[in-house]
Structure 1
């Protein structure tokens, strides 16, 4: 980023900042990255007048967080790359975790003293949802290196600061694990610093990749020593290392946020088959389970009729709440915690204790089909709404029109079910209007939302007058 007339740009920013803070029209907008960040920050309720980032770690918790963080072994590398530059130029180097919480800080002592006044120090949180637009938080939110100059910060107290930051992604998990940042006085921190910071982040990622490959090789040697039917070798994060030559599993098997090292854990793969997960050294072995030995849970949740389920060949009666739970578990095959299920079902007012009680009652009907920690379905699942998703992905209007009999769990008020229901409805309607033949549109017109869909009925009314579908559509339109 380069601004040859910083004074003019500062005046533009001050005008835009004042307008943004009071909710007025911005006379001129800053660059797109900053505009998007300001909007996110203001929507999150950030007060531009706050004076400091919040402290989230006391000294004892900070020590534990540092010891457990994967960037700790790379701190000497980052320090060697950036700390000396920061000291020489009167700036500060910061390393945070994935949530923008400052774990380490080095640099010029005078600048660190000034940084203490705004909470740019160990244990403070610099995410966007805590302090608004800033180098660390915006780099993490945008997942890219950024330079934030002076009045581009949302907090007024930061208008004398500038910062260059870059996120660091773990090549093993594919997730952002931290951020490296250099901050200093607005007019002394050159915008080109962001290139140096981005290079340091890439260097850290390269070192993480080398360590990952070393772990993989040790794990592969142990795997190769097995003599018969070893299954598919996975890393601790679910990366496929060996045993899947056809690539059926892709690059990664999703094991959940914190995979449980419990022998014999069952899980559903992306193709709907069931597999057994076994701990193996520092990783896992995945064994496919014969489908003939696995009971099938069949769910019919679309349309106006009551939700129905069949398990292992036997019909099961379902309350709406139990149908909602099964729908959510089917939509999240890798599992949900009680807290997540509670939020999906009840919103912010949910109680995980209620969910645990409902799961207990549901398991009395389905037995071992529902596993815990996290809650997940460990049987083969066939569901009309999952079939609908597959037809949507294939873009097949004929199959889609036959499969869609109405909204998903139409009586459900669960926030997550309503979101999924609305999304399915919008996608089905859009696909049929774009690609559907008259018979497909007529089939949709028989559903709850299709009966009075003006655009669908107009299409049908335009058919030949002798066509009975045209007459019916014209009747509904009038």
Structure 2
């Protein structure tokens, strides 16, 4: 909605801000961009009365982060484009990382002193989840240039400020790597400043693209010197540079968050075939292996120990959430949508955005062994709980007793995994009580739930009085 006078919009914002701060509904909300940002900020628990952005990096940490940040070589360009304008108008120029942490700041002394009072300084965190709606945090969250005017800030201490910001995307990785911003007092920062900031961000992206093409050309020259050697040439971020004329790899190979530069790393590609990833200069070579058999994912999720996974020949550390996701994908071989996976993990309170982020991290360990749309496992899977199901179907108590070492992911609160855990437990117990030999019942009595199972222990007390298993059973029944 547009307003003929800025004063009218300011009054609307003040009324909406008071309503948001006290938990009341807004009679007339701000513009859509700001409304969405306020909703995200309030959901993150932002208190509108906080006075300053938090400090997250000390001086020594900041020095190391600046030294390796991809925007550091472009700092003279950004400063030349914006610092002069900022100083002339009494504003400050800011450059952040991808998470909204301020890395560099320029401005006249008076504006810098004012900025220090609200944490608009190096090392402070300006993501929406830290300070609510603001130019840098909202530009990063919305992935677009934004101008945030005065009372549009959720934080009341920022109502004297306005800011124009734009995210900067790395053309190599396709990810946002930072944000450029001009902030100042509301009466000194014209809304049109956002156009200048957006142009500066695009200029930075153009320079990044030129540098990327120069790196590609050097890498391609080294690749060509192999005289037609087989393989697909990848950048350090997994972008396909050469060797895939048909585009079978889709332009990019998922290498994980921090691809390991170790020779002979085995990967599963999007078509299910296997390949070896080799470090090559500043990038990688991808070589198809003669065999198209994918490595096996082995899951050990029964019992009270920590869940473990092995992919091919390598052990993969698992968080409890990743173990739950893998268990659900193994139980649903035809795949699950993000919404279905969310429901199985969290019930009605889940958010598919959270699941997509977890899958992204999990693919960093397993690569394309996890496919999307729907999410599913594309490699052979061996799991102790799936083997248990097969023994139950066969009705073999001896094999069942050997295979069952305890409940499935005993600490999981996922509704679907709890249902599967209880079902497996009930079936194993029923089969062993109905058909199990004393050895099978004794094996079950060593598990978490079997230790105090009254009926199982009663059966064992019927053994010979000289049998030590009978004595243990009697002692547990006391």
Give the shorter-chain TM-score range.
Answer: 0.5 to 0.7
Counterpart Cα distance in 2 of 1:248 and 1:139: 34
Matches within 5 A, 1:254-403: 254-291=254-291, 294=293, 297=296, 319=302, 338=317, 341-345=319-323, 376=365
Question: CA offsets, 1:311-356, max 9 Å, x none?
Answer: xxxxx99738999866xx99xx9x9973x63343479xxxxxxxxx
Q: Given the superposition, is the C-alpha separation of residues 145 and 2 from structure 1 closer, same or farther in structure 2, using an over 3 Å criterion? A: farther
Structure 1 residue 109: deviation in Å?
A: 1.7
Query: Is the Cα contact below 8 Å between 1:34 and 1:152 reproduced in 2?
Result: yes
Structure 1 residue 94: deviation in Å?
A: 0.3
Counterpart Cα distance in 1 of 2:409 and 2:125: 38
Could you tell me the TM-score, scaled by structure 1's length?
0.67
- Residue 197 of structure 1 aligns to a residue whose secondary structure is helix
- Which residue number corresponds to residue 302 of structure 1? none
- Residue 45 of structure 2 aligns to a residue whose secondary structure is coil
Q: Given the superposition, is the C-alpha separation of residues 245 and 413 from structure 1 closer, same or farther in structure 2, using an over 3 Å criterion? A: farther
- Which ranges in structure 2 are unaligned for 5 or more consecutive residues? 326-361, 379-406, 420-478
Counterpart Cα distance in 1 of 2:169 and 2:418: 34
Structure 1 residue 105: deviation in Å?
A: 0.5
Question: CA offsets, 1:55-113, max 9 Å, x none?
Answer: 11111111111111110110110111011011111111000000111111112221111
Structure 1 residue 277: deviation in Å?
A: 0.3
- Which residue number corresponds to residue 172 of structure 1? 172
Structure 1 residue 188: deviation in Å?
A: 1.6
Q: Given the superposition, is the C-alpha separation of residues 24 and 244 from structure 1 closer, same or farther in structure 2, using an over 3 Å criterion? A: same
Q: Find out whether 1:98 has 2:87 as its counterpart.
A: no
Q: Find out whether 1:158 has 2:158 as its counterpart.
A: yes
Q: Find out whether 1:238 has 2:238 as its counterpart.
A: yes
Query: Is the Cα contact below 8 Å between 1:296 and 1:381 reproduced in 2?
Result: no
Q: Given the superposition, is the C-alpha separation of residues 421 and 100 from structure 1 closer, same or farther in structure 2, using an over 3 Å criterion? A: farther
- Which residue number corresponds to residue 224 of structure 2? 224
- Residue 70 of structure 1 aligns to a residue whose secondary structure is coil
Counterpart Cα distance in 2 of 1:111 and 1:57: 22
Counterpart Cα distance in 1 of 2:274 and 2:15: 59
Counterpart Cα distance in 2 of 1:290 and 1:160: 66
Question: CA offsets, 1:142-161, max 9 Å, x none?
Answer: 10000000111011000000
Query: Is the Cα contact below 8 Å between 2:412 and 2:418 reproduced in 1?
Result: no
Structure 1 residue 6: deviation in Å?
A: 1.2
- Residue 291 of structure 1 aligns to a residue whose secondary structure is coil
Counterpart Cα distance in 2 of 1:199 and 1:223: 36
Q: Given the superposition, is the C-alpha separation of residues 226 and 41 from structure 1 closer, same or farther in structure 2, using an over 3 Å criterion? A: same
- Which residue number corresponds to residue 69 of structure 1? 69
Counterpart Cα distance in 2 of 1:14 and 1:209: 43
Counterpart Cα distance in 1 of 2:112 and 2:285: 48
Could you tell me the TM-score, scaled by structure 2's length?
0.67
- Which residue number corresponds to residue 129 of structure 1? 129
Counterpart Cα distance in 2 of 1:376 and 1:140: 26
Q: Given the superposition, is the C-alpha separation of residues 252 and 26 from structure 1 closer, same or farther in structure 2, using an over 3 Å criterion? A: same
Query: Is the Cα contact below 8 Å between 1:230 and 1:285 reproduced in 2?
Result: no
Larger Rg: 2
Query: Is the Cα contact below 8 Å between 2:320 and 2:412 reproduced in 1?
Result: no
- Which residue number corresponds to residue 445 of structure 1? none
Counterpart Cα distance in 1 of 2:86 and 2:100: 20
Query: Is the Cα contact below 8 Å between 1:2 and 1:191 reproduced in 2?
Result: no
- Which residue number corresponds to residue 188 of structure 2? 188
Counterpart Cα distance in 1 of 2:171 and 2:271: 25
Query: Is the Cα contact below 8 Å between 2:363 and 2:369 reproduced in 1?
Result: no
Q: Given the superposition, is the C-alpha separation of residues 374 and 247 from structure 1 closer, same or farther in structure 2, using an over 3 Å criterion? A: closer
Q: Bigger shift: 57-66 or 250-259?
A: 57-66
Query: Is the Cα contact below 8 Å between 1:172 and 1:209 reproduced in 2?
Result: yes
Question: CA offsets, 1:242-290, max 9 Å, x none?
Answer: 0001100011101000000000011111111111000000000001112
Query: Is the Cα contact below 8 Å between 1:297 and 1:381 reproduced in 2?
Result: no
Give the total of aligned pairs.
353
Query: Is the Cα contact below 8 Å between 1:53 and 1:119 reproduced in 2?
Result: yes
Structure 1 residue 417: deviation in Å?
A: 7.2
Counterpart Cα distance in 2 of 1:229 and 1:108: 57
- Which ranges in structure 1 are unaligned for 5 or more consecutive residues? 299-308, 310-315, 348-372, 390-409, 423-478
Counterpart Cα distance in 1 of 2:375 and 2:9: 52
Query: Is the Cα contact below 8 Å between 2:254 and 2:368 reproduced in 1?
Result: no
Q: Given the superposition, is the C-alpha separation of residues 77 and 43 from structure 1 closer, same or farther in structure 2, using an over 3 Å criterion? A: same
Structure 1 residue 22: deviation in Å?
A: 1.1
- Residue 205 of structure 2 aligns to a residue whose secondary structure is helix
RMSD: 3.6
Query: Is the Cα contact below 8 Å between 2:92 and 2:111 reproduced in 1?
Result: yes
- Which residue number corresponds to residue 249 of structure 2? 249
